[in-house]
A and B are shown apart, each in its own frame.
Chain A
Amino acid sequence: QVQLVESGGGLVKPGGSLRLSCTASGFTFSDYYMSWIRQAPGKGLEWVAYISGSGSAIYYADSVKGRFTISRDNAQNSLYLQMNSLRDEDTAVYYCAKGAAIDSWGQGTLVTVSS
């Protein structure tokens, strides 16, 4: 069955950096668009970034454009999110997600930005 396992979350100071990883299994990874979606504590869902199967098409939410970079390694079945210049408002659970209508989600990894 499909599994998505995130890692890399933690506590970081404002202005700091963090790199999230997601390891996928149970499907042909390179065939699917993948995303990072976040949810701030007690809030709704926000689509952060989206990458095509080949990596040639990438989209970002305006709130993270220029600060976050999504990438993938299809040989390693892995998805990444490099987060720079982190702000308090980036505090959230970050989910790795498969597809456009998301049929598989990871368990989420918590990123806390605080001094």
Chain B
Amino acid sequence: EIVMTQSPATLSVSPGERATLSCRASQTVSSYLAWYQQKPGQAPRLLIYAASTRATGIPARFSGSGSGTEFTLTISSLQSEDFAVYYCQHYNNWPYTFGQGTKLEIK
């Protein structure tokens, strides 16, 4: 099983600033990597798939990069609605697995 490790566990950032979230895979997942945002009481929402492709309706301030084992989600200028928990997930081969999440909180 591929283990996905996200860092940091919690990230404190001020509105308007940039946030950088990391995700590392224990073995290569090529570009089969997705990012999700989850707010309390809601289902997750797909932000990025194929490591760097924004999902439908996702603002341009969200960007993804990386391939192989190292991936990054960048939010260029944080808005109030961006404070949430973010998960990475690989879909290279079964079992698909999620990272443990990064909580993005207001500084």
Contact = CB atoms under 8 A, between A and B. Distances in A.
Interface of A: 44-47, 50, 59, 61-62, 95, 100-103, 105-108
B96 A50 contact: yes
Interface of B: 1, 32, 34, 36, 43-46, 49-50, 55-56, 87, 89, 91, 94-101
Contact of A100 (B55, B96, B100): B96
Q: Is the interface of A mostly helix, strand, loop or mixed?
A: loop
Contacts of A105: 43-45
Contacts, number: 49
A61 B50 CA distance: 23
Nearest to B56: A103
B91 A45 contact: no
A107 B99 CA distance: 21
Given A102-B46, A103-B55, A105-B44, A45 B34 contact: no
A45 B55 contact: no
B97 A47 contact: yes
A11 B46 CA distance: 30
Nearest to A93: B43
Given A45-B44, A47-B95, A107-B43, A101 B34 contact: yes
A105 B55 CA distance: 14
A107 B87 CA distance: 18
B34 A44 contact: no
Contact of B43 (A61, A95, A101): A95
Chain A to chain B: the 6 pairs with minimum beta-carbon distance, closest first = A101-B49, A105-B43, A100-B91, A101-B34, A59-B94, A45-B98
